Amino acid sequence: MKNIDSYNHVRGESIYLDDIPLQAETLYAAVYDSPIAHGKIKTLDMSEAKNAKGVIRILTAKDIPGENQIGGIVPDEELLADTHVHFCGMPIALIIADSEEHARLAVKKIKATFEPLPVITDPRVAKEKGELIIPPRTFQSGNIETAWKDCSYIFEGRADTNGQEHLYIETQGAYAIPQENGAIRIYSSTQGPTAVQRTAARVLGVPMNKLEVDTTRLGGGFGGKEDQATAWAVLCALASFHLKKPVKYSLHRMDDMRMTGKRHPYSSDFKIGLNKDLKILAYEAVFYQNAGAAADLSPAVMERTLFHCTNSYFVPNVKATAYSCRTHLPPNTAFRGFGGPQGMFVIEAAIAKAADELKIPASSIQEKNLIRTGEEFPYGQKADSEANECWQKTDELYQIKKLQEEINHFNASSDQYKKGMAIMPVCFGISFTKTLMNQARSLVHVYTDGSVGISTGAVEMGQGVNTKILQVAARIFSIEPSRIKINTTNTWRIANTSPTAASAAADLNGKATEIACMQILERLKKIAIEECVVTADIDKTEIPPFELKDEWIYINGKKTEWTWNKLVMAAYIKRVSLSELAHYTPPGIHFDPSKEKGHPFAYHVYGTAIVSVTVDCLRGIYEIDNVKVVHDFGKSMNTIVDLGQCEGGIVQGIGWMTMEEIVFDKDGKLRSNALSTYKVPDIYSVPKEITIHALETKRDNLAIFRSKAVGEPPLMYGIGAYFALRNAILAFNPNANIKFDAPMTPEKVLLNLYNEKSDQDMENGQSKSG
Ligand code: MTE
Ligand code: MOS
């Protein structure tokens, strides 16, 4: 089944925040944000701005009736800076005007002076200075101290990954409309309507039930609107609260890039120990997470880095420590993979380093160490592993050895171009690592004409969750998908929702929908047995099996004269409820942070990708030739949607690893602040070919209809692009001293192609390959 939004999308008829018809007297907001990364506000002169054309009011921290606090996990983030600013782009004042243009023009008329304070941008420096968001955490298994003694080889190194701009097509934005009795309706482009509601209540000092947050869909979120949509929605609500008028704010792209946080850059140290048979016996890692100026979701992101620090491998002795370091960058936040990719990059770097030193391909270490069913992750959960199956299937389908030989052959006969490939196994845990967040509700109404309306806490952001929820109801009721409508995500209909994140929205909200539909079906079944057996000529002494198939009722396998419509009407006439609000929470998950052990994930998603690239060794530019994947879908309930998620995730992951380069200068100013200076993959730079083989695994698990979560895991296949480029560079320049420092931009490729290579080496190298 196609994504139910596809028709409206291509016709431009889908509703996003900017498509909501504006009410009369709507006002427009714009933020005056800090021009410096750290300092004390000395003076704030708003007189000229106040008198500027169209300006209605300017709000500052003093105008906040409740708490000036938007920190979700740690209360360390002001909505509007009061006395100090902590990052370039921190909101200081909110201008409300009669037009967008007037609001933006007035921003430029605000004059402020600051007493600058020292700026930290490097997480290692922050850690040295004791600037930590939360105390460090360590995941441990086995005994790392004694394990080193048993290792034949030990390698150490450092690995860095940069941030990533979310670049959702729809920028952040919100629209608040006052209602009667002090209530406010907030349309928000958010992944977490409840987060908006809760935070707005805190800032305004009103109870949550006064705030209706409504989200139709997002033009992409990718984690960037899990927490960071909140500020803009709360600012609109604040203005609307004071002025009793509708207030809208949708950010200009450059404002969005400047003021919002991104994927966390990490700097990490690793130490890996192997025995003679290439078994990894010990692994130690220290992660320095660049959290930015406030906690935001950093503690949770850091936790997932630790969970995924050994990727798909079984390592008996592990010690991984992570520091969430406070710097003066915009607070970094969730981004597809949620810290997992950063953790995985480091162990892949450690393996690559070991392979280099031992002069063997990394794949021979990778394959030997894939986690098997029954083996334990460092956090105590036992694997139900598909890691080996994925790898073997990859080898069988794509023939790893043959691919490598073809590449070697090509490289031997080509001077200017060199190819490289890398294999990237992935293992990603599904569930919010904060156990309590794994809960969802679904409200299903069957109307008397047989049509169905569903509301859940899931937010549609292009990933197809609404399509999947609709499929759940269509399957349970066995009715035409066109008779089902998925409603907007709304905090008055569904309360206390977890954000749509952790790839878990389809599982959690789908299962809640399944339960709601099953309960309605049970009631309908009773009616059917009471009412329609008469016409079906069936022995009434036993309870006959009931079935709904393509909108017809079957009793005892025999088609009756009753349709879905007739049954629904009969239920209504008998005063039986046709509505249900169901609650779902996955069983069996738990985690004890005091021991850092438990069973945090409902299940894991596995997969293996081979990434192949060609480098132009004259120019440093490159192409991604192909990505060949075996991905564990469980049993996909929607292959079109799921393949789309895989392809999109892979391209986004490759972008992070290759061309997307965020640059902050030492003063904490974002230099890559526009699409002219920040390059994301376009149609010319996506892989020339992506092949995805669906591994069907029927293991009983907690995925909706055994269709495993797919939103985030494929992004991590993109990490293979980094290592493939590295191998291509090494094919040209075996002495290249390549740092593990992503992204591998064309500039870095060029520098590495020629680094530490004398003219003598160049000649030798060329004569060898020529
Ligand atoms: N796909 C699209 N098209 N747009 C998005 O914003 N977000 C990703 C992923 N796929 C995203 C996407 C992220 S970060 C997550 S956590 C999941 O979708 C969330 O949705 P799910 O739980 O329904 O998979
Ligand atoms: Mo996704 S990063 O969990 O929103």
Stretch (H or E) spanning 727: helix 719-732
Residue nearest atom 23 in ligand 1 by C-alpha distance: 505
pLDDT of residue 769 exceeding 80, the answer is no
User: Measured from the CB, is residue 247 less than 6 Å from ligand 2?
Assistant: no
Amino acid type, 197? Q
Whether residue 716 contacts residue 161, with contact meaning beta carbons closer than 8 Å, is answered with no
Q: Tell me the pLDDT tens digit for each residue of 219-240.
A: 999 999 999 999 999 999 999 9
pLDDT single digits (tens) 415-436 = 999 999 999 999 999 999 999 9
Question: Which ligand is the nearest neighbour of the Cα of 432?
Answer: 2
Contacts of 635 (CB under 8 A, 6+ apart): 696, 697, 698, 705, 706, 707
Joined together, the tokens standing for residue 336 give 């597809």
Spell out the long-range contacts of 65-69 with Cβ–Cβ below 8 A and sequence spacing 24 or more: 65/203, 65/204, 65/205, 65/241, 66/201, 66/202, 66/203, 66/204, 66/205, 66/206, 67/202, 67/203, 67/205, 68/203, 69/202, 69/203
- CA 645 to ligand 2 center in whole angstroms: 13
Give 762's pLDDT tier (boundaries 50, 70, 90): very low
Token output for 584: 């779902």
The residue type found at 185 is: R
Rounded to whole angstroms, the Cα distance separating 500 from 510 reads 12
DSSP state of 142: S
Contact assessment for residue 140 and residue 319, using Cβ atoms and an 8 Å cutoff: yes
CA 299 – ligand 1 centroid, Å:
20
How far is the C-alpha of 336 from the C-alpha of 408, rounded, in Å?
34
Residue with the bigger pLDDT between 700 and 234: it is 234
What confidence category does residue 539 fall into, taking pLDDT thresholds of 50, 70 and 90? low
The closest residue, in CA terms, to atom 11 on ligand 1 is 222
* Of residues 501, 653, 680, the one with CA closest to residue 161: 653
Which residues are near ligand 1 (CB < 6 Å)? 220-223, 336, 461-463, 465, 500-506, 645, 648, 709, 711-712
Q: 154-183: b or e for each residue (b if 16 or more CB lie within 10 Å)?
A: ebebbbbbbbbbbbbebbbbbbbbbeeeee
Instruction: Measure 534 CA to ligand 2 centroid, in angstroms.
Output: 53
Percent pLDDT > 90 in the chain is 94
Give the whole-angstrom CA distance, residue 521 versus residue 383. 36
Model confidence, pTM: 0.96
Q: How far is the CA of 684 from the centre of ligand 2 (A)?
A: 27
Give the ligand whose atoms come closest to the C-alpha of residue 462.
1
- Give residue 451 CA to ligand 2 midpoint distance, Å: 33
Looking at residue 543, its pLDDT comes to 67
Distance, CA of 330 to CA of 67 (rounded, Å): 21
Is the CB–ligand 2 distance for residue 227 below 6 Å? Answer: no
pLDDT at 640 (0 to 100): 97
What residue type is 296 in one-letter code?
D
Q: Which of 336, 460, 471 to mutate to test the pocket of ligand 1 (most atoms within 8 A of CB)?
A: 336
- 562's CB contacts (< 8 A; 6+ apart) are 528, 531, 532, 535, 552, 553
Q: What is the pLDDT of residue 540?
A: 57
Ligand nearest, relative to CA of residue 221? 1
Q: Which of 320, 253, 258, 265 is nearest to 292 (CA)?
A: 265
Q: Are 584 and 456 in contact (CB under 8 A)?
A: no
Decide: 319 and 284 in contact? Cβ < 8 Å. Answer: yes
Q: Is residue 541 pLDDT above 80, yes or no?
A: no
* Ligand 1 atom 3 nearest Cα: 462
Ligand 2 mean position, distance from CA 334 (Å): 6
DSSP class per residue in 197-256: HHHHHHHHT--GGGEEEEE---S--TTTTTSTTHHHHHHHHHHHHHH-S-EEEE--HHHH
For residue 337, give the ligand 1 atom closest to its CA: 14
Catalytic-role residue among 712, 747, 756, 763: 712
User: Can you say whether the dihedral through the CA atoms of 493, 495, 501, 507 is positive or negative?
Assistant: negative
What pLDDT, in 10s, does the model give residues 331-364? 999 999 999 999 999 999 999 999 999 999 999 9
712 is catalytic: yes
State the Cα–Cα distance between residues 309 and 268, nearest whole angstrom: 11
- How far is residue 392's CA from residue 223's CA, in Å, rounded to a whole number? 32
φ, ψ (nearest 5 deg) of residue 403 = -60, -45
766 or 145: which carries more pLDDT confidence?
145
Tell me, what's the pLDDT at 533?
65
Higher-confidence residue: 557 or 543? 557
Distance of alpha carbon 609 from alpha carbon 395, whole angstroms: 10
Are 662 and 165 within 8 A, CB to CB?
yes
630: Cα within 13 Å, side-chain hemisphere: 21
Q: How much is the pLDDT for 555?
A: 87
Region of 138 please: left (phi>0), alpha (psi -120 to 50) or beta.
Answer: beta
Instruction: Provide the H-helix boundaries in 319-399.
Output: 340-358, 362-368, 387-398
The residue type found at 285 is A
Non-local CB neighbours of 702 within 8 Å, separated by 6+ positions: 430, 507, 511, 586, 587, 588, 602, 603
Regarding the beta carbon of 226 and ligand 2, being less than 6 Å apart is answered: yes
The DSSP H or E segment spanning 548 is: strand 546-549
Atom of ligand 1 lying closest to residue 338 CA: 14
CA-angle at 423, arms to 150 and 504, nearest 5° = 95
- Ligand 2 atom closest to the CA of 334, numbered from 1: 2
- Does the pLDDT of residue 564 top 90, yes or no? yes
The three-class DSSP label of residue 685 is coil
- Taking the C-alpha atoms of residue 20 and residue 10, their distance in angstroms, rounded to an integer, is 18
Q: Is the pLDDT of residue 768 over 90?
A: no
* Residue 763, pLDDT score: 46
Task: From the CA of 500, give the closest atom in ligand 2.
Answer: 4
Counting ligands in written order, the one closest to the CA of 300 is 2
CA distance linking residue 389 with residue 383, whole number of Å: 13
Whether 519 contacts 513, CB under 8 Å: no
- Output the residue whose Cα is nearest ligand 1's atom 16: 501
Residue 718 DSSP SS3: helix
- Is any ligand 2 atom within 6 A of the Cβ of residue 432? no
Ligand nearest to the CA of 228: 2
Residue 339 Cα to ligand 2 midpoint, Å, equals 10
Q: State yes or no: pLDDT of 193 exceeds 90.
A: yes
Token pair belonging to 229: 């949509």
Q: Mean pLDDT of all residues in the chain?
A: 96
Q: How many angstroms does the Cα of residue 501 sit away from the middle of ligand 1?
A: 7
Give the model's pLDDT for residue 551: 95
Q: How far is CA 118 from CA 36, 85, 292, 667, in A?
A: 11, 12, 14, 9
Q: Does the structure show a pLDDT above 80 at 594?
A: yes
